[in-house]
Structures are given as C-alpha cells and as structure tokens.
Amino acid sequence: MAVKTILTEPNKILRQISKPVEKVGKEEQKLMDDMLDTMYAANGIGLAAIQIGVPKRIIVMDISKDQDKKEPRYFVNPVIKNKDEQKTTYEEGCLSVPNQFAEIDRPSQCEVEYLDYNGVPQLLKAEGLLATCIQHEMDHLEGILFIDYLSKLKKSMIIKKLSKAKSDRIVV
Ligand code: NI
C-alpha cells in the first residue's frame, strides 16, 4: 500500500477518458489499496484512478464520518442506471481542485452497477451524499471536473488561481 501523488487542475491527464477494466486481478486490487491510502491521507471521501494518473474506470470512496469505523467502497467499471429527476445541491470540492468549493446540483438518487473489490457484480441504490459523491467520481472517468459546471468566468478564475499557486511554489 502506498500514498500516491494526486494530480491537480490544470493537468491535462485529468481530462483523459478512463478505460474499462477487463478483469479485477491483483494489479487492480493493489491500485485500489493505493487509491484508498491516498484518499485517506488527503482527507478526501472519494478518488478516481485518473486522479493518480491511471486511466482505468476505478473509484474508491468512504463517506463514513467516523474515523475509527472506516467503510471503504470500491467501484470498478461503474455505470449509472437510473437518475432521479429531482436535484440535490451540495457544496463540492475535489482533491484535484484544491481549496476550491462550489454549489453543484445533481440528481438526488441514482442506481449504480459495478464490480466490487473481488470483481463481483453489484447494484447500489444511492441517495444523498453517496449519490452526489458517486456522480462526482464518475465524472472523473469522463475527464470532467466539478468546475466544468460553473460559468466560464468563475471556472477561469479558479484555474488561474490554481496555476498561480503552482508557479509560486519553490523547492529548496
Ligand atoms: Ni474530485
């Protein structure tokens, strides 16, 4: 298990479309272990493989609030089946868009078909934070970030801020 570097906007790799996983084997399980370590280390509740530079359709999540009772979830090749017409608004952030937050509307319920950590097909009915988080992570698999839903002006301001933060960084 290892903590990996999380790529941040405007890194173009984040815009790649991730490829389906053919089989959940040792390599994919190791990737999921690393993703979970990376996510916990960054205090995130969800992470897609592309965020650590691996273009595979794999997501890890843990929306449990209790630090001592971890509830990791693994989604391989997730597909959203039914989306609710009703929308819910959450203030979203993203490990790849550090320190930026915005209110985003998404369907409040959805069903997700996926393979779990052992490659077993599963169906999950999600609502509330879980539904929002899954949809946010699924967007990563398509190269979409939450800032893409904002106005052009707001989005470019955020990207400018992030680019500036990077160029100010020094290593001594
Ligand atoms: Ni994200």
Confidence class for position 32, pLDDT limits 50, 70, 90: very high
Alpha-carbon distance of 56 to 29, in angstroms, equals 12
Instruction: Name the active-site residue from 71, 113, 137, 142.
Output: 137
- Does pLDDT of 166 surpass 80? no
- Tell me what pLDDT residue 30 has: 98
Q: Among candidates 78, 86, 8, 71, which has minimal Cα distance to 40?
A: 71
Is 27 tagged catalytic?
no
Alpha carbon of 94 to ligand 1 centroid (Å): 4
- Does pLDDT of 44 surpass 80? yes
CA 111 to chain centre: 17
Alpha carbon of 140 to ligand 1 centroid (Å): 7
Alpha carbon of 142 to ligand 1 centroid (Å): 12
**Cα four-point dihedral sign 113, 117, 120, 123:** negative
Q: In CATH, what number is assigned to the domain containing residue 160?
A: 3.90.45.10
- Does pLDDT of 165 surpass 80? no
Alpha carbon of 30 to ligand 1 centroid (Å): 21
The verdict on residue 153 lying in a domain is yes
Q: Model confidence over 50-65: pLDDT tens digits?
A: 999 999 999 999 999 7
* Structural domain boundaries enclosing 91: 12-165
Alpha carbon of 157 to ligand 1 centroid (Å): 18
- Tell me what pLDDT residue 113 has: 98
| High-pLDDT (> 90) share of the chain, % | 86
Confidence class for position 101, pLDDT limits 50, 70, 90: very high
**Lowest mean pLDDT: which of 49-53, 67-71, 144-148?**
67-71
The verdict on residue 2 lying in a domain is no
The verdict on residue 172 lying in a domain is no
The verdict on residue 122 lying in a domain is yes
To 5 degrees, how large is the angle CA 152–CA 163–CA 142? 60
- Tell me what pLDDT residue 169 has: 67
Q: What is the mean pLDDT of residues 42-54?
A: 97
Locate tokens 């490829």: which residue? 19
Alpha carbon of 135 to ligand 1 centroid (Å): 10
**Lowest mean pLDDT: which of 8-17, 76-85, 124-133?**
76-85
Average pLDDT of the chain to the nearest whole number: 94
Alpha helix (H) residue ranges in the chain: 26-41, 128-141, 152-167
The verdict on residue 45 lying in a domain is yes
State how many domains the chain has: 1
Distances (CA, A) of 63 to 6, 89, 135: 19, 17, 14
Look at residue 76 and give its three-state secondary structure. strand
The verdict on residue 116 lying in a domain is yes
The verdict on residue 123 lying in a domain is yes
Reading across the β-sheet that carries 58-61, which strands appear in turn? 46-48, 58-61, 73-83, 109-115, 121-127
Q: Model confidence over 105-124: pLDDT tens digits?
A: 999 999 999 999 999 999 99
The verdict on residue 171 lying in a domain is no
